């Protein structure tokens, strides 16, 4: 019990002492608050020669206990440039701390500075003037009662920015927790700094470095005030898990002189990429590496608006691996030696990046290569690569947005060299040296822009300067297959530059082409790009960057109901215009021969101009294949016969292959032999003149006529049809038929003696034509396909009467002259407006 009572007493007295000390300290702080704040302000005014705005100044014992702190709220320090109102520093809280015993002694020495939740912007103007010269150089007037002897600076959540308008440089970082310890003497400042920061960006010229990188800093340096030099002790900066040791000297008297050495420790691919401009490394920023990667370099020379230091780096790896974290594929066994220098002139024009002795393994298959990139202002690029590549492995590793998946093997052996700017200025002048070849072995590719896969790709591609010779390049796209042999002209320019045209000069052959698939909008448009409301079946676009001269041979082709065989011809594409002097094929039981062009320069106003010859075509099959040409009046079931025709036409489409029928123009010279008209409704209406059984199958040996199509209307000149009908061996027809199915036909029938009694009584008084041996009946057929009427053609009858009267007058005059009279044709007496109702 005695020991417990002793411990309790000790704890009681310790607590009493602490409470007493705190109480005394609080009393002293309260008692001397105004005095200390006044002395602080007076002393600060001696040292700071620029305006400082403060919302509140107070003395605090507890904010930085056990130190006493002069606390400044909402501080704004104006930069040290005449007439400027820009801020050098802002802070929610600024603390200057000293010991509680300084109050008792009456002499105050500020040892630490705390800056919290603020910002610091250091600037160098275009004339080289800095904005941070805010401290008075004459400190002889310092008070013995209050002095600034900063030994440590603490930054918490402070945004730091450095801008050099002369060098066009900008550095932005967030210091989460940074502590700097200082030792001051008359000649030097020793500074040690540790902490964490996030570099938002380091911009030098147009390039950005270290964007969004977390940095751990541990550095020590000595600033010599007399010689105006900074001696940087070997300091460690950790970036992306890798550590870089930096050491050397910096002289800032006059233009800045650098003499620095940099060495990487525990480096990896992401830490190396972070040292390069983001525009170069952005595509590879997600990649990771394993294995031994080394890096070292020096920076030496003057830094100014006119001078750059000499930069030399060496880097590489041994038995390393390279991969993307989202996929399993890796480049393994990677060995590489690389170097970079900005050269004799210390600028982009003399800069050289080299990769040597590059070897590795992709899916157990070795590869090798090298690269040189010289003169960044006027780039010269040279590289070579060799290896049997697994396409699926490469696609998975590179994660290309344009390629969703792939398979097969590609044997690559290629070398490339050339000046890129010269090539861009004169792409067709053989400014590049490209050699080697690529051979595909059962390669398949699924592309982002083309949902249909390319499958079974084989072929050899031989590179020569800007062109590629293609040998037995074959494969399939959907259900369609192809084989190409020839030359691809201007390939490298087309691949590397914008608005360059690829010219294909080749023989093209195919066993089968499914044009429904190849032109399908759904199968040729990425899902993300499809219009949800679109109901169009087809999509047809011709790239302005593709040209070809093809000798084509296609054994079979399919489009909707069309089936073509043995398609042969020459096809040319230039400036989005497809043309052919001769295309022939077999279809619909006959032969086609076509010449013409397709103009797709306006993607929603595609013009097709053709001259077509059809030989021995089955009429019923023709109507079936072309889906009865969009009408229901006369269908494939109504027709038989062999068609021969010459057609000259201009047809217009939009990009979905919808015909613009209002612009369609065509001239058709057609002959139908051995024709039949089967169960055709208008012919059934003629049962008053012909036996219905004969009308069910009207045959004719030959029908010839010229037709015109314009403004959505088919114009049919008058033509005679000689048929097998006993009562109607011949009839004449003419008229128009619109695409809206409005019909206006004129029909002329001979009235023969069919053995029916009182026939002439039905149709009026009829006289026989002595030459024709019959009387003529004039009719009209007008209306819609589903609602039409046959009536007397009063207008033609009147014209006939006028013609007959003139003829009779002529005959009378001939009679008076002694000429033999000609027998007159009887006039048909009609009831005006009367319609037939013959069912």
Check if the beta carbon of residue 467 is closer than 8 Å to that of residue 435.
Answer: no
| Three-state SS at 478 | coil
My answer on whether omega of the bond before 66 falls inside 30° of 0, hence cis, is yes
Phi, psi (deg, nearest 5) at residue 278:
-65, -35
Name the residue among 755, 754, 756, 736 with its Cα closest to residue 746.
736
Least confident of 76-85, 501-510, 677-686, 695-704: 677-686
Check if the beta carbon of residue 301 is closer than 8 Å to that of residue 258.
Answer: yes
Rg (CA), the chain: 48
Q: pLDDT by residue (tens digit) across 429-438?
A: 667 888 999 9
Q: Does the pLDDT of residue 535 top 60, yes or no?
A: no
CA–CA dist 27, 161 (Å, integer): 41
Q: pLDDT by residue (tens digit) across 295-319?
A: 888 989 888 777 888 989 898 888 9
Q: Does the pLDDT of residue 760 top 50, yes or no?
A: no
Which pLDDT does position 810 carry in this prediction?
A: 61
Q: pLDDT by residue (tens digit) across 769-828?
A: 444 445 677 888 888 877 778 777 777 666 666 666 666 566 656 665 666 555 544 444
Name the residue among 117, 33, 19, 41 with its Cα closest to residue 68.
33
User: Please, how many CA atoms are within 13 Å of residue 614, restricted to the half-sphere of its CB?
Assistant: 22
Which pLDDT does position 276 carry in this prediction?
A: 64
pLDDT grade for 384, boundaries at 50, 70 and 90: very high
Which pLDDT does position 220 carry in this prediction?
A: 86
Check if the beta carbon of residue 551 is closer than 8 Å to that of residue 561.
Answer: no
Check if the beta carbon of residue 94 is closer than 8 Å to that of residue 148.
Answer: no
Q: Report if pTM > 0.85.
A: no
**What mean pLDDT value characterizes the chain?**
78
Q: pLDDT by residue (tens digit) across 233-282?
A: 888 887 766 788 888 898 877 778 889 898 887 777 766 666 666 666 66
Q: Does the pLDDT of residue 98 top 50, yes or no?
A: yes
Which pair of tokens denotes residue 138? 């004459």
Check if the beta carbon of residue 555 is closer than 8 Å to that of residue 562.
Answer: no
Q: Does the pLDDT of residue 736 top 80, yes or no?
A: yes
Name the residue among 224, 243, 153, 164 with its Cα closest to residue 192.
153
Q: pLDDT by residue (tens digit) across 438-467?
A: 999 999 998 877 778 899 999 999 999 889
């Amino acid at each position: 019990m005695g020991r417990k009572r002793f411990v309790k007493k000790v704890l009681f007295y310790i607590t009493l002492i602490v409470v007493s000390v705190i109480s005394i300290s609080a009393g002293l702080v309260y008692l001397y608050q105004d005095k200390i704040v006044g002395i602080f302000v007076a002393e600060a005014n001696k040292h700071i020669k620029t305006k400082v705005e403060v919302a509140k100044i107070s003395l605090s014992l507890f904010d930085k206990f056990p130190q006493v702190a002069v606390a400044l709220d909402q501080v704004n320090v104006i930069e040290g440039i005449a007439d400027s109102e820009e801020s050098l520093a802002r802070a929610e809280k600024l603390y200057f701390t000293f010991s509680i015993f300084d109050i008792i002694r009456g002499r105050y020495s500020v040892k630490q500075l705390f800056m919290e939740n603020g910002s610091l912007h250091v600037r160098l103007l275009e004339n080289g003037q800095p904005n941070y010269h805010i401290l008075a150089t004459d400190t002889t007037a310092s008070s013995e009662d209050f002095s600034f002897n900063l030994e440590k600076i603490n930054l918490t959540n402070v945004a730091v920015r450095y801008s050099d308008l002369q060098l066009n440089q900008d550095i932005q970082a967030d210091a989460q927790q940074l502590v700097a310890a200082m030792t001051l003497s008359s000649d030097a400042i020793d500074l040690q700094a540790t902490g964490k920061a996030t570099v938002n960006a380091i911009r030098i010229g147009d390039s950005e470095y270290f964007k969004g990188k977390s940095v751990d800093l541990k550095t020590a340096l000595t600033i010599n005030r007399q010689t105006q030099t900074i001696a940087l002790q070997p300091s460690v900066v950790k970036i992306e898990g890798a550590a870089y040791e930096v050491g050397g000297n910096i002289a800032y008297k006059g233009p800045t002189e650098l003499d620095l050495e940099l060495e990487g420790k525990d480096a990896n691919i992401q830490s190396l990429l972070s040292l390069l401009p983001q525009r170069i490394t952005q595509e590879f920023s997600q990649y990771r590496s394993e294995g031994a990667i080394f890096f070292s370099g020096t920076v030496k020379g003057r830094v100014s608006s006119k001078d750059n230091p000499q930069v030399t780096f060496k880097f590489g790896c041994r038995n390393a691996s390279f991969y993307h974290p989202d996929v399993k594929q890796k480049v393994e066994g990677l060995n590489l030696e690389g170097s970079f220098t900005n050269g004799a002139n210390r600028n982009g024009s003399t800069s050289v990046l080299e990769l040597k002795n590059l070897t590795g393994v992709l899916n157990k298959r070795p590869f090798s290569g090298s690269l040189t990139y010289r003169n960044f202002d006027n780039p010269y690029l040279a590289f070579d690569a060799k290896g049997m590549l697994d396409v699926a492995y490469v696609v998975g590793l590179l994660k290309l947005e344009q390629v969703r998946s792939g398979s097969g093997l590609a044997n690559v052996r290629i070398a490339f060299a050339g000046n890129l700017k010269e090539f861009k200025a004169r792409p067709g002048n053989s400014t590049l040296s490209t050699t080697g070849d690529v051979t595909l072995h059962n390669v398949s590719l699924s592309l982002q822009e083309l949902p249909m896969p390319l499958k079974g790709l084989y072929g050899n591609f031989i590179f020569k300067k800007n062109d590629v010779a293609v040998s037995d390049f074959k494969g399939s796209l959907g259900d369609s297959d192809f084989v190409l042999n020839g030359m691809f002209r201007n390939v490298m320019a087309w691949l590397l530059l914008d608005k360059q045209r690829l010219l294909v000069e080749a023989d093209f052959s195919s066993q089968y082409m499914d044009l429904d698939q190849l032109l399908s909008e759904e199968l040729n448009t990425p899902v993300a790009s499809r219009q949800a409301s679109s109901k169009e079946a087809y999509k047809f676009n011709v790239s302005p960057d593709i040209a070809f001269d093809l000798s084509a041979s296609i054994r079979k082709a399919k489009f909707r109901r069309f089936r073509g065989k043995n398609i042969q011809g020459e096809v040319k594409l230039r400036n989005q215009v497809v043309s052919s002097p001769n295309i022939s094929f077999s279809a619909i039981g006959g032969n086609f021969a076509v010449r013409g062009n397709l103009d797709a320069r306006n993607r929603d106003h595609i013009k097709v101009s053709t001259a077509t010859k059809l030989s021995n075509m089955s009429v019923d099959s023709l109507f079936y294949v072309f889906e009865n040409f969009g009408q229901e009046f006369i269908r494939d079931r109504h027709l038989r016969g062999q068609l021969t025709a010459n057609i000259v036409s201009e047809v217009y489409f939009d990009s979905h292959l919808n015909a613009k029928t209002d612009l369609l123009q065509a001239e058709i010279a057609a002959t139908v032999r051995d024709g039949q008209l089967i169960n055709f409704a208008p012919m059934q209406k003629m049962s008053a003149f012909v036996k219905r059984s004969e009308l069910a199958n009207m045959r004719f040996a030959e029908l010839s006529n010229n037709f015109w199509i314009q403004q959505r209307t088919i114009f049919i000149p008058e033509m005679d049809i000689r048929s097998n009908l006993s009562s109607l061996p011949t009839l004449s027809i003419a008229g128009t038929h619109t695409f809206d199915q409005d019909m206006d036909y004129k029909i002329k029938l001979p009235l023969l003696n069919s053995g029916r009694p009182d026939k002439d009584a039905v149709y009026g008084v009829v006289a026989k034509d002595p030459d024709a041996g019959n009387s003529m009946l004039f009719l009209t057929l007008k209306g819609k396909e589903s609602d039409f009427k046959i009536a007397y053609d009063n207008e033609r009858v009147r014209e006939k009467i006028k013609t007959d009267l003139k003829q009779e007058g002529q005959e009378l005059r001939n009679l008076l002259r002694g000429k033999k009279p000609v027998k007159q044709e009887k006039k048909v007496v009609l009831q005006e407006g009367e319609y037939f109702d013959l069912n």
